[in-house]
């Protein structure tokens, strides 16, 4: 089994350090970006609301990590509406503002109502609007609930140009689970496409991270899980990883996305 220290090193490099709070401010986003300069390396990205993209860019440059840390943002978030024009407009604006990656919410409520074409249209349009940037599609697996619907949403997103399949917004009662992760990773494997996976919401300990990394290795093969293919969307997880790497493994993680 992978040691906790090894899992912590891997997970740190794969983190999308996230702040998607209603009370976010420029100051809180600057503080978030300052945390990317850790003694053990930097996370893969910070994930912030579109209004804070430029703030994050400046803060990462000041922290000396902009060359290593990408800026991710969210669109059609968190409701996942069926308005393709809105989602496309938000995605295009995020790219113009400087986002390297866009996490767009799949219209999961439409799929729950039997409309599969809404997801296909929205993801395809946002794929085009991304202009070559990374597109992560948030499926909101905790709301889709059943393996059949989760797999259907995954297949639609894969067919429509997703670069990553992401479990959750972190804004609902059930977010990332190992069961939903298995469905998404299996869909990626079966597709034969070069697509990544992002677990988001409720991952707070090094042990949690290790379980997801082990699952990815079992399904996708040893070495597949790299920042190019695997991300954790979290905030409190960073404290736990740093505690593990510094030898203070009993230090609690802060609650967070």
**Residues labelled catalytic:** 103, 166, 198
Other CB atoms within 10 Å distance of the CB of residue 195 = 21
Give the closest residue to 112 by CA, choosing from 139, 83, 85: 139
Give the closest residue to 164 by CA, choosing from 183, 143, 141, 139: 139
Give the closest residue to 41 by CA, choosing from 253, 250, 241, 254: 241
Q: What is the DSSP letter of 119?
A: H
What does the alpha-carbon distance between residue 230 and residue 43 come to, in Å, rounded to a whole number? 12
48, 139 contact by CB (below 8 A)? no
Q: What is the DSSP letter of 216?
A: H
Give the closest residue to 59 by CA, choosing from 10, 106, 22, 24: 24
Please, what is the end-to-end C-alpha distance for the chain in angstroms? 27
Q: What angle do CA 101, 224, 140 make, to 5 degrees?
A: 50
């Amino acid at each position: 089994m992978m040691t906790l220290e090894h899992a912590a090193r891997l997970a740190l490099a794969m983190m999308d350090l996230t702040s998607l709070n209603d009370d976010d401010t420029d100051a809180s986003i600057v503080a978030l970006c300052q945390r990317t300069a850790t003694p053990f390396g930097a996370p893969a990205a910070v994930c912030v609301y579109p209004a804070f993209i430029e703030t994050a860019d400046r803060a990462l440059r000041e922290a000396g990590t902009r060359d290593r840390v990408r800026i991710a943002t969210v669109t059609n978030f968190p409701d996942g509406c069926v308005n393709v024009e809105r989602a496309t407009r938000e995605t295009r604006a995020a790219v113009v503002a400087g986002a390297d990656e866009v996490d767009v919410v799949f219209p999961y409520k439409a799929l729950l109502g039997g409309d599969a074409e809404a997801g296909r249209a929205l993801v395809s349009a946002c794929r085009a609007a991304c202009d070559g940037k990374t597109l992560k599609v948030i499926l909101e697996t905790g709301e889709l609930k059943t393996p059949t619907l989760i797999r259907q949403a995954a297949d639609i997103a894969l067919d429509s140009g997703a670069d990553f399949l992401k479990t959750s917004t972190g804004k609902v009662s059930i977010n990332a689970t190992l069961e939903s992760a298995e469905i998404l990773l299996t869909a990626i494997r079966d597709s034969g496409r070069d697509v990544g996976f992002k677990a988001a919401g409720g991952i707070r300990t090094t042990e949690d991270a290790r379980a997801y990394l082990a699952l990815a290795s079992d399904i996708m093969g040893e070495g597949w899980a790299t920042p190019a293919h695997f991300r954790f969307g979290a905030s409190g997880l960073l404290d736990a990883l740093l505690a593990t790497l510094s030898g203070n493994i009993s230090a609690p993680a802060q609650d967070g996305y």
